[in-house]
Amino acid sequence: MKNILISPSLLSADFTNLKSDVEMINRSEADWLHMDVMDGVFVPNISFGFPVISAVSKICKKPLDVHLMIVQPERYIEQTAKAGAYIMSVQYEACTHLHRTIQQIHAAGMKAGVVLNPSTPVHLLEDIICDVDLVLLMSVNPGFGGQTFIENTINKVKRLRKLMDECGSKALIEVDGGVQGETAPRLVQAGADVLVSGSYVFKSEDPENTIKQLKSLSTSQESEERPSRT
């Protein structure tokens, strides 16, 4: 059985009621909580920063999956660790010395992820893929929740999976942007391990149940695999 990890994105939560949304995440089958930090430079939007991550980490029982959409993220490694991040993911396009940044993230005690924009090809990861714990493929242009899924991501996941198999990488493949009921099963089928989902979860009538449905892709993959094994 393949265990698909679900990482709901806090960007679509109700910011006037963050505590109750984090409590919902605690009760739910979510594996991680995705937190998007934006600087208004790397992306055209500004979201939230370390005081919010620290506050959420005090009440959230799930590991924090922190996605930095900022220039020179290496300036904030210590602060991200202190704020309580489990994973720190940095944008490939924002790092001049990615290898050093990944080493520093590990030295600070966090898992290290690298994020690719939709236009950045996966083959650029060839020489870093064995050093990272996670590769996050953006399936929308970063900066906003609620955008339309970019279809090319499906092929990109397949190409990344092939590259990782060839290199013997054990990194997880995470996908972020436009993940909903129709795109999620196709991403899992293509080889994704972790699904980030913002508006589909938080704007649904029953977010806890929506998370449960996304999580059930783990078991449905199992039942698809079973007939071929017998």
Catalytic residue among 36, 39, 133, 193: 36
- The reply, when asked if residue 144 is annotated as ligand binding, is yes
Report whether 65 contacts 89 (CB < 8 A): yes
Q: How far apart are CA 130 and CA 152, in angstroms?
A: 24
Q: Which H helix or E strand runs over 112?
A: strand 111-116
- The reply, when asked if residue 145 is annotated as ligand binding, is yes
| Total chain residues near Zn ion (CB under 5 A) | 3
Q: Tokens representing 145?
A: 């929740």
Contacts of ligand DX5 in 12-31 (CB under 6 A): 12
- The reply, when asked if residue 181 is annotated as ligand binding, is no
- Taking CB under 6 A as the binding criterion, the range among 70-78, 116-124, 126-134, 135-143 that sits at the site for ligand DX5 is 135-143
What SS3 state is found at 142? coil
What SS3 state is found at 24? helix
Question: Shortest Cβ distance from residue 165 to ligand DX5 (Å)?
Answer: 26
- Taking CB under 5 A as the binding criterion, the range among 24-32, 65-73, 120-128, 207-215 that sits at the site for Zn ion is 65-73
Contacts of ligand DX5 in 101-130 (CB under 6 A): none
Indicate which single residue of 145, 173, 183, 192 sits in contact with ligand DX5 (rule: CB under 6 A): 145
Residues 6+ apart with CB under 8 A from 125: 92, 114, 116, 132, 135, 160, 163
Is residue 133 flagged as an active site residue?
no
| Burial class of residue 100 (count of CB atoms within 10 Å of its CB; 0-12, 13-18, 19+) | exposed
- The reply, when asked if residue 40 is annotated as ligand binding, is no
Q: Which is nearer to ligand DX5, 168 or 205 (CB)?
A: 205
Q: How far is CA 33 from CA 77, 81, 85, 86, in A?
A: 19, 15, 10, 10
Question: Shortest Cβ distance from residue 69 to ligand DX5 (Å)?
Answer: 6
What SS3 state is found at 182? coil
Report whether 67 contacts 115 (CB < 8 A): yes
Indicate which single residue of 13, 65, 67, 102 sits in contact with Zn ion (rule: CB under 5 A): 67
Q: Which is nearer to ligand DX5, 91 or 169 (CB)?
A: 91
Binding residues for substrate: 9, 67, 143-146, 176-178, 198-199
Give the interface with Zn ion as residue ranges (CB under 5 A): 36, 67, 176
Give the interface with ligand DX5 as residue ranges (CB under 6 A): 9, 11-12, 34, 36, 67, 140, 142-147, 176-179, 196-200
Point out the residues that are catalytic: 36, 176
